[in-house]
Chains A and B, each alone.
Chain A
């Protein structure tokens, strides 16, 4: 489902060129749970941005469901993100002073769905992500970290995306909450979602079935966990 060939990303800052990704190639099949692990500056975030259709590689090819993503324009990328990818961010990125439900509905705006459908799906996803029913009308800034991440998970699920990309989803959470969030992701994987997790913590990475180790812009090791 995901196929990367010789992905290279070079950042230019004036005269200085930084190679963030250097000839990275790998494939991820449908239903996998992959952790991409590496120290900071290893290029894992850059890889995640490319996989999430948020950024284009300098060279190389990225196929998502047999479509070459690196050739799409801004609007096509938006459509792709909307239909195929759900994001979970380290800093949650919820709309401030906005109800839980509105936050979850956000990706459905400007699509051909009725507000009833949207509400129904949002509630379904929130329950699925383990959010308590009585918090649905709370404002996003009244929630705890764990609750915010659940809202973010529900938001990632609402378009029923092929891939869920989680960028350090436990980075701002304590150990206990991290565990709950990771178990929730595992649960989603069991239900058939493809999950790609970016992290620098081995404990977190171990929830996955496969770990790609990345260092200095290259894949160091790609191993399955049995």
Chain B
């Protein structure tokens, strides 16, 4: 009996290869796209979170506030309000501060021999290594002596090295030109990862004093990075920094502060909400493909109803019991959806792995829930629309079914 059922199902599916193939294709596309898109979304979220964690641990960032010219805001970070004295005061007056790294940042074109690149230049102190979790790969960071004498020395990131000197070259001892001045490279940092605008490896570090003399020409800072001693003291340290800077800048109302304080968790939260939106976007696209796939499945199942209703009528007329007809059509729908689902999962998986392979910064992560959801919806649609019309036809009298147009 079950052998007959099995054979009939296989025969029916293989006898209508185009019909079966298109139905499976609908299921495959629906499921694969959901799995791949959700995996990419999740991967993006994870990789951004990882990048942010790579900025430093227990990091608090102070940025200048928006400069106001005649009541018009010039945008955050535009004001000249943070000074080295502020940085020193934070370091000396607040407890639980491990390190403070004042920084002057500027994007600039730099050249070395015949190559040139546009990169981020950061004038800072040796504490930057601690605050931002930067480690030196070869050579060394600036000494106090070099800091005091405003020496024209630089430490570069690996991406900058690749751009200027080629892969795996040893840059230490070479010379680069920044702003028409020669800087000697004394070290290179270890790669931290990150990409595009936020690439922490495409960077040139110079002493803060040098940056003041030759790049900015004034005493103001672009940011101050502070490493708290531990996670628990972050909030209180952040509050104390705020109070201290308000007092130093003689501002009584915190709403008028000429600086912003952010900690890493805030950045992480912001980024997470952005990538969350991104994931929702991808998921909706995936949802739409699932819907389209589902409609495709439904279409295939329903368009074959006429022919199949006659077949059902014939089967009934020659004396096959209703239960066997129902079982056969159920089995057909189950085989189609499961076969399609299986191929879809594999294809979605391969797509995700391919994306990871070609985009090194994005490690996609396949979630079980997306697999279950995609599979569930396709299987549901496939089984309902494969089985329900057949069941209805099997309940007709054989004569009605045979005459079905």
A interface residues with partner B (beta carbon < 8 Å) = 49, 52, 54-55, 74-75, 78-83, 85, 87, 89, 93, 95-98, 102, 106-107, 109-110, 155, 159
Contacts and interface: CB of A to CB of B under 8 A. Distances in A.
B134 to A, nearest CB: 71
A78 B321 contact: yes
Given A54-B398, A55-B399, A102-B11, A109 B320 contact: yes
A81 B320 CA distance: 9
Contacts of B316: 78, 81
A93 B320 contact: no
A95 B4 contact: no
Interface of B: 1, 4-5, 8, 11, 15-16, 307, 310-311, 313-324, 397-399, 402
A83 B321 CA distance: 12
Nearest to B1: A110
5 contacts: A54-B397, A75-B323, A82-B320, A106-B315, A109-B324
A93 B402 CA distance: 8
A49 B399 contact: yes
B321 A54 contact: no
B16 to A, nearest CB: 7
Nearest to A165: B317
B314 A95 contact: yes
Determine chain B's interface SS by DSSP, over half rule: helix
Given A55-B399, A109-B4, A81 B317 contact: yes
B314 A79 contact: no
A78 B397 contact: no
Nearest to B395: A74
Contact of A87 (B310, B317, B322): B317
Given A55-B397, A55-B399, A110 B321 contact: yes
Given A55-B399, A93-B310, A98-B15, A81 B321 contact: no
B403 to A, nearest CB: 10
Contacts of A95: 311, 314
Contacts of B313: 93
Given A54-B317, A75-B321, A97-B15, 19 more contacts: A54-B397, A74-B322, A75-B323, A78-B316, A78-B320, A81-B319, A85-B319, A89-B402, A93-B313, A95-B311, A102-B11, A106-B314, A106-B315, A107-B319, A109-B4, A110-B4, A110-B5, A110-B320, A159-B319
Contacts of A98: 15
Chain A CB count within 10 A is highest, among B318, B320, B324, for: B318
B317 to A, nearest CB: 6
B71 to A, nearest CB: 80
Chain B CB count within 10 A is highest, among A79, A95, A107, A109, for: A109
Contacts of B15: 97-98
Contacts of B307: 96
Nearest to B315: A106
B314 A83 contact: no
